[in-house]
Structure 1
Amino acid sequence: MPYEHKEGAFPLRQWIAEQRRAYRAEQMNGRRAARLEMLGMAWSAADARFQKNLAAARVYYQEHWTLCAPRSATVLDKPVRQWLSNLRRPGALDGHPEWEAALEAIDEDWNPSWPAEWQRHYTVVREILAEESTLAYVEPGVTVHGMDIGKWLARQRKPEVWAALANGQRERLEAVGVTPLAAVPVLVPEGSAEPSTAPVSAFERGVAALAQHKGACTGSVKVPRAHVEALPGGAEVKLGVFLSNSKSRRAKLTDDKLAALAGIGLEWAVMEGAV
């Protein structure tokens, strides 16, 4: 507010200036300072700017679950990405531990030691798995905030990519149930030059498990949600979860996936017009 601003006859802006002077001179007791801070008092112009940008950062986090914003991110007319980038520079927060604490209170990974793009993808995976509780849902093609999360996750789980991640990155992935894929050996049956056709993707394993379950249960495709099907070779599939997720995502499944499920006998997977 301008220096001459008044509330009625009370010179409010002048009074605020006097409170700031007393605070800087350490002439204000802690109780008064706390009461003013509860009303949003910023003790300096820098603090005021920080609080305005922090409000924008808080809004961004509520929408995107991370403060690792892309270059173009703007919230409440504030270039939040550029502001955060400036604060990540060495020495930018020197003398302002309260600023750093405020940012960490919003997002403890606001300044990761790995690329911000990686953190953005991981954050979405974390939120998806917190809701769905299964990796089978996060397949290539699952897109959130313009990012192909399924494709990214499949890449992180490759043994060679996993080994190249920082310890902190692996720890975060493991905390939400993501582990590296075991190297899949190419098996050549005795007397044959053809490689094994064992299913390797999550969807293929699900289809194979469903077909196996149907055969073992005399043609039934009814599966309890908690049922786990063991495939030859030791792989286990949470078949009930796979079936439930596939049905709920029918509109997003490709024609070949629907055809594979319909071929096992799932009526809901039959495409319109199919004979």
Structure 2
Amino acid sequence: MPPSRRTSRLRGRTSRRPEPWPRPGGLGKDPKRAKQRAVELAAVDPDWNPAELGWTVDWQRHYVGLAVLLKDGALLTGIVPGVTWRGDDIGRWLLRQQRDFGRLNPEQQKRLSELGVKPAVRARTAAVPSGGKDWGGARRGGVHAGAGGACAVRRAGAAHRGAAPAQ
């Protein structure tokens, strides 16, 4: 029996009784039977319930798509936005995973690392040379010592307390 048919039967879905997916408690109302089905599903596919692993079905589907593409001979550098697998844009998903690598849980990071995925290297912004004035010091200290003495530096969005400004 094909795994997909077996998985469908274990979940309790039949073609005669269409129900929306996902169903709450989709393994049946009987707790004993639901537990047995969960054990059988885990034997077929240990990742059958990604919620228990800490990620969504969408993440799992994209991960499997990436693994299949790499297994079929694609290079990681060749998987760019627009490369799809079964309708999912794996390239765009891969860029998001690399960008947000630190937000993934350790198991997700491990699985992606096994496929050769590494966190994106963030470009550092170049320091802007100052025109003789210490604007960096003004941002840090709040006072700018320019020609003619010290003056208070206003910060955008800062709430001003005290007297209203002179007009």
TM norm structure 1 = 0.36
Task: Give the counterpart of 2:91 among 142, 145, 150.
Answer: 150
**Is contact 1:139-1:150 (8 Å) kept?**
yes
Partner Cα distance (1:132, 1:123) in 2 = 14
Partner Cα distance (2:35, 2:119) in 1 = 38
Distance 1:152-1:81 versus aligned 2 partners, 3 A rule: same
Distance 1:185-1:148 versus aligned 2 partners, 3 A rule: same
Match of 2:5 in 1: 55
Q: CA deviation at 1:98?
A: 3.6
Distance 1:85-1:125 versus aligned 2 partners, 3 A rule: farther
Match of 2:137 in 1: none
Equivalent residue letter for 1:162: F
Structure 1: gaps spanning 5 or more residues: 1-50, 60-66, 68-73, 191-275
RMSD: 3.9
Are residue 126 (structure 1) and residue 64 (structure 2) matched? no
Distance 1:82-1:150 versus aligned 2 partners, 3 A rule: same
Are residue 110 (structure 1) and residue 110 (structure 2) matched? no
Match of 1:86 in 2: 26
Task: Give the counterpart of 1:169 among 105, 108, 113.
Answer: 108
Partner Cα distance (1:163, 1:92) in 2 = 40
Equivalent residue letter for 1:104: A
Match of 2:37 in 1: 99
Partner Cα distance (1:98, 1:125) in 2 = 31
More helix by share: 1
Distance 1:76-1:56 versus aligned 2 partners, 3 A rule: farther
Consecutive aligned runs of 4 or more in structure 1 exceeding 6 Å deviation: none
Match of 1:262 in 2: none
Partner Cα distance (2:49, 2:33) in 1 = 18
Partner SS state of residue 105, structure 1: helix
TM norm structure 2 = 0.56
Q: Kindly report which structure 2 residues correspond to 1:1-275, keeping only aligned pairs within 5 A, or say none.
A: 55=5, 57=7, 81-82=21-22, 86-87=26-27, 94=32, 97-112=35-50, 113-132=54-73, 134-158=75-99, 161-187=100-126
Partner SS state of residue 82, structure 1: coil
Distance 1:176-1:56 versus aligned 2 partners, 3 A rule: same
Q: CA deviation at 1:95?
A: 5.6
Distance 1:81-1:162 versus aligned 2 partners, 3 A rule: same
Match of 1:42 in 2: none
**Is contact 1:138-1:150 (8 Å) kept?**
yes
Q: CA deviation at 1:96?
A: 5.0
Structure 2: gaps spanning 5 or more residues: 130-167
Q: CA deviation at 1:156?
A: 0.6
